[in-house]
Chains A and B, each alone.
Chain A
Amino acid sequence: MATDLVPGVTPETPKTSPPPPDSARRRQRARTIASALRHRWLYVMLLPGVAYFLVFKYWPMYGLHIAFKEYLPFLGYSGSPWVGFQQFETLFSGPDFDRLMLNTLILALLTIVFVFPAPIVVALLLNELRTVFVKRSIQSLIYIPHFLSWAIVASLTYLLFSVDFGVLAGFIHSIVGGEQTDYVAQESWFRPIIVLQLLWKQTGWGTIIYLAALAGVDTQLYEAARVDGAGRWRQLWHITLPAIRPAIVVMAILTSGHLLDSGFEQIWLMTTSLNRSVSEVFDTYVYYIGITQGAYSYSTAVGLFKGVIGVLLIAGSNWLAKRLGQRGLY
């Protein structure tokens, strides 16, 4: 998702000064307290927001410890017995793990191969357009699906693939031949349809970040290259691509951090009783096991496993980007 970018956070570097003598330190503390009192209204303003983060972000993090318990609602957090890593052992040795991992990784791989490069290609094509009006119009149109909900996109898909009248169902049938079936329900069509949906919904919007990078390229570079006899292909290779490389790296890091986050809403909405063997991923599994079956501790353990892998992936890809001489995220 394009909004999932790292906002303008500048890490605060603490001023390192030699440790002040005792009296000076006391004076400093008095100053801090005086400053805090003077700005009490700022703290009052801060309070509701901090309360939100504590209640809806940090309380759930505290709740994560039930992954190491056998949580029973009537015993509560503290009354439920500790079980150590038993939930994780159940997950890793259970029959579901391999299938979940495989499904999640295949979707991630398909995303990297097909969905990730699409906005780069489209941005490069848009950048080569000569007429501003044409470019603006095309941009306006291809951004639209980003704002449609997954519920709408899923419904649209079901209509277009309807056995009775769906135009895409007819189209596929005319190519593949055989018996006309309900493609959306079938295992073999689940992944292609997920990729198609992602391409349709996110490609246009994804171009924004690359177009911004392209707009920042100094046009004199192109002039100079032309004078030196570089054609459009060579200009693309030597000027345009290097210009958007940092943006590509940042997007790659962000994408790899979310490798195990298959879009929950999208997949849940496209899951049918027939395609479960290929459609079930960690996120939908957590929902299914946790909410509909009530296995809170086990599903929390699955979620925690996924979350920890996610953190490792972000750190790893950031490290890799730096090793390759690119600016990382942090």
Chain B
Amino acid sequence: MAIDNVAGPAAQRRRARQHESVGSRVFDVLNVVILTALAAVTVLPMLYVLAGSFATEAEIDSRPFFLWPQHFATDAYDYIFTGGTFVRALLTTICVTAVGTVIQVGLTLTMAYPLSKRFLPGRTLAINLVVFTLVFSGGMIPTYLVVRDLGLLDSYWALILPLAINPFYLLIVKSFFQELPEALEEAARIDGCNELGVFWRIVLPLSKPVIATFSLFYAVAIWNDYMSPLLYIEDEHKWTLQVLVRQLTAPNADSENALNALEGAFFPQQGVKFAIIVLATLPILLVYPFLQKHFAKGVLIGSVKE
């Protein structure tokens, strides 16, 4: 089902436009105005933060809202990049996201493939094992205790392993594998491939779009995760970017201390809050065009089709 089919009934009606009532045309104009306002309200806060991150402290304090700084300043970025804290948090987040995504996608694909084989004895049991976790879970504290008992507290693995497979994604990928033409795999099997070979040489190359989609799904989820570091990470040297954002912008935050302040350097108190938000958001916005294309499809495979 294509949501790209955006023209819908409206385009069809365009032909009948000349016969339409005044009320109908007034509505059309109003509709565009309302939705444009909605889009503006959505985007303006982000643009303000971007502009604010390049403004001087005085300008942030004196102008309540602006989209272009009067005096262009990079104090905030200079300060953030010279202290070690931000760079460390950035590298941590990038590494955890990269390693985590590879692990999560790998586990999801390898588990989804056998689950897609209807002939496999025990498959139904495994599927039920997965589906049940959608309805019921142990919850925060029992999961925390498991992570603790595994000795993963204050370990980067705690940010990856407890979320290693998203059951929703797993079931979607499983459905995708089920739709692949069986004949191709059969041919490879006759040529002497074992199941690993079929998976590696036939199935994975056919699944590139799905792999791309779910890599993005997982990567964004890890990048944005705040709860896992809150639960499992105490050591401030292991802070991720989201935690740093929080530490800098929380009410009554001691931002200067959170950034390991540089002795004697000018500290842009407000500017760093703007800049850190921009820096933590930037990667998401860079992949957004891809996200938009793939995510919408993923959501729909997951729901409407059923």
A216 within 8 A of B: yes
A134 within 8 A of B: yes
Bound CA–CA A229/B73 (angstroms): 62
Classify the interface of chain A: helix, strand, loop or mixed. Answer: helix
A46 within 8 A of B: yes
B8 CB contacts on chain A under 8 angstroms: 127, 214-215, 217, 219
Q: Let me know if B138 and A60 touch, CB within 8 A.
A: yes
Q: Let me know if A42 and B113 touch, CB within 8 A.
A: yes
Q: Let me know if A5 and B303 touch, CB within 8 A.
A: yes
B303 CB contacts on chain A under 8 angstroms: 5-7, 209, 250
Bound CA–CA A232/B19 (angstroms): 12
CB B68 to nearest CB in A, in angstroms, measures 15
Q: Let me know if B45 and A160 touch, CB within 8 A.
A: yes
A184 within 8 A of B: yes
Q: Let me know if A125 and B12 touch, CB within 8 A.
A: no
Residue-wise interface mask of B (94-109) relative to A, using a CB-CB cutoff of 8 A (1 in contact, 0 not): 0000000000000110
- Which parts of B170-206 form the interface with A (CB within 8 Å)? 170-172, 174-175, 194-196, 199
Q: Which chain A residue shows the least CB distance to B161?
A: A56
A158 CB contacts on chain B under 8 angstroms: 249-251, 273
B70 within 8 A of A: no
Bound CA–CA A174/B144 (angstroms): 46
Bound CA–CA A217/B9 (angstroms): 8
A98 CB contacts on chain B under 8 angstroms: none
A137 CB contacts on chain B under 8 angstroms: 39
Q: Which chain A residue shows the least CB distance to B246?
A: A151
Q: Let me know if B64 and A156 touch, CB within 8 A.
A: no
Bound CA–CA A87/B209 (angstroms): 49
Q: Let me know if B302 and A222 touch, CB within 8 A.
A: no
A30 within 8 A of B: no
B280 within 8 A of A: yes
A57 CB contacts on chain B under 8 angstroms: 133, 137-138
B248 CB contacts on chain A under 8 angstroms: 155
Bound CA–CA A256/B63 (angstroms): 43
Residue-wise interface mask of B (245-270) relative to A, using a CB-CB cutoff of 8 A (1 in contact, 0 not): 11011110000000000000000001
B226 CB contacts on chain A under 8 angstroms: 149-151, 265, 269
B34 CB contacts on chain A under 8 angstroms: 125
CB < 8 Å neighbour of B175 from A7, A147, A217: A7
B126 CB contacts on chain A under 8 angstroms: 46, 50
CB < 8 Å neighbour of A132 from B11, B121, B299: B11
Q: Let me know if A208 and B3 touch, CB within 8 A.
A: yes
CB A225 to nearest CB in B, in angstroms, measures 10
Size range of the interface on A? 35 or more
Q: Let me know if A45 and B196 touch, CB within 8 A.
A: yes
Residue-wise interface mask of A (40-62) relative to B, using a CB-CB cutoff of 8 A (1 in contact, 0 not): 01111110111011011111111
Q: Let me know if B164 and A52 touch, CB within 8 A.
A: yes
Size range of the interface on B? 35 or more
Bound CA–CA A294/B39 (angstroms): 45
**Stretch of A16-24, A89-97, A99-107, A283-291 that contacts chain B:** A283-291
Q: Let me know if B146 and A12 touch, CB within 8 A.
A: no
Q: Let me know if A165 and B137 touch, CB within 8 A.
A: no
Bound CA–CA A57/B129 (angstroms): 10
A269 CB contacts on chain B under 8 angstroms: 226, 246
CB A57 to nearest CB in B, in angstroms, measures 5
Q: Let me know if A43 and B304 touch, CB within 8 A.
A: no
B156 within 8 A of A: no
B130 within 8 A of A: yes
A241 CB contacts on chain B under 8 angstroms: none
Q: Which chain B residue shows the least CB distance to A222?
A: B9
Q: Let me know if B245 and A204 touch, CB within 8 A.
A: no
A32-B121, A45-B110, A64-B142 known; A8 and B305 CB under 8 Å?
yes
Residue-wise interface mask of A (302-324) relative to B, using a CB-CB cutoff of 8 A (1 in contact, 0 not): 01101100110010000000000
Q: Which 6 A-B pairs have the closest CB atoms?
A: A60-B138, A49-B111, A149-B224, A63-B142, A5-B303, A303-B139
| 12 contacting pairs across A/B (C-beta < 8 A) | A8-B302, A49-B170, A63-B146, A129-B32, A129-B35, A144-B285, A149-B224, A208-B296, A212-B3, A215-B5, A216-B1, A300-B139
Name B residues whose Cβ lies closer than 8 Å to a Cβ of A: 1-3, 5-14, 16, 21, 24, 27-28, 31-32, 34-36, 38-39, 41-43, 45-46, 48-49, 52, 60-65, 107-108, 110-111, 113-115, 117, 119-122, 124, 126-127, 129-131, 133-146, 150, 161-162, 164-165, 168, 170-172, 174-175, 194-196, 199, 217, 220, 223-227, 230-231, 242-243, 245-246, 248-251, 270, 273-274, 276-277, 280-281, 284-285, 288, 291-292, 296, 298-306
Query: Assuming A60-B138, A212-B3, what are 10 further A-B pairs, CB within 8 angstroms?
Result: A5-B299, A58-B138, A151-B246, A152-B242, A155-B248, A155-B276, A215-B1, A219-B8, A250-B303, A307-B137
